[in-house]
Chains A and B, each alone.
Chain A
Amino acid sequence: MKNTNEMEIVFDSCSANERFARVAVASFLTQLNPTVEEVADVKTAVSEAVTNSIIHGYDNEIHKISVRCRICDDKFYVTVRDEGKGIEDVEQAMQPMYTTKPDADRSGMGFSFMEAFMDQVEVESEPGKGTTVRMEKTIGKGRNLWTTQSL
């Protein structure tokens, strides 16, 4: 019997919701009994993806962003979707330090952070249609159950 669960939230693309999104995802994640480090990893990755949608996808205009989470045993999947302007060249956008907005103090590290903190990151985008970021992380990889440890 597989342990599965799902949730989806849709919210306005205002910067105050960056915090809301990562906290909501983190609290959904707690049912997998993650380590503090794993929660921080997922929160950072979600924050990066949502910030991208707000700043780049929607150019700071208010539209909807959807965040969908799915749990399947110890795998955690999170998808961040916007219907904004999309990315012309995904490969280039994912290069570390690449940014289209250097004057706005963007570091160009968003996708690098997502890749560093999650096991898998997939980006699907079409100019004019929007961007979907799919991320995956196995929770509790390095953690042994206390019952298996010798006392």
Chain B
Amino acid sequence: MKYQVQENCLTIFLPKEVDHHNAEEIRRDADAVIEKNHIKYVIFDFGETEFMDSSGIGAIMGRYRLIQLINGEVWAVHTNARIKKILTMSGMTKIMQIYEDEEDRQ
């Protein structure tokens, strides 16, 4: 898993495809980092991601459950239209913020 920690904020750079096969690894690695670094905010960076199924939703929900215990937040950035649709359909937009930067917003 590619990631970056800045203070209590963890950014996870998701792979090209997020399915059950690689969601397992993300889940395991993310939880270890969250615990070790007292993470409160998790940012899922979808910049590279072209495919995600419900296993990805499960992975986001699981991390949300973990950090909401300490009032943390989950964010999504660099989502393409497909990923946005998947996140909206599954109700993820109720628990996480989708951040769009200026250049994406046209």
Binding site for B on A (CB under 8 A): 15-16, 18-19, 22, 37, 40, 43-44, 47-48, 51, 54-55, 104-110, 112-113, 116
Which of B2-10, B15-23, B33-41, B96-104 is near enough to bind chain A?
B15-23
Q: Knowing A15-B24, A105-B61 touch, does A48 contact B53 (C-beta < 8 A)?
A: yes
Contact across chains for B51 and A15 when beta carbons are under 8 A apart: no
Nearest Cβ on chain B to A55's Cβ, whole angstroms: 7
Sample of 28 A–B contacts (CB below 8 Å):
A15-B19, A15-B21, A15-B24, A16-B21, A18-B19, A18-B21, A19-B19, A44-B53, A47-B19, A47-B53, A48-B53, A48-B54, A51-B20, A54-B20, A104-B58, A105-B27, A105-B58, A105-B59, A105-B61, A107-B55, A107-B57, A110-B54, A112-B54, A112-B89, A113-B53, A113-B86, A113-B90, A116-B89
Number of A-B residue pairs, CB cutoff 8 Å, is 62
B interface size (C-beta, 8 A): 20
Contact across chains for B90 and A107 when beta carbons are under 8 A apart: yes
CB nearest neighbor in A for B82: A40
B47 within 8 A of A: no
Chain B residues within 8 Å of A112, by CB: 54, 89-90
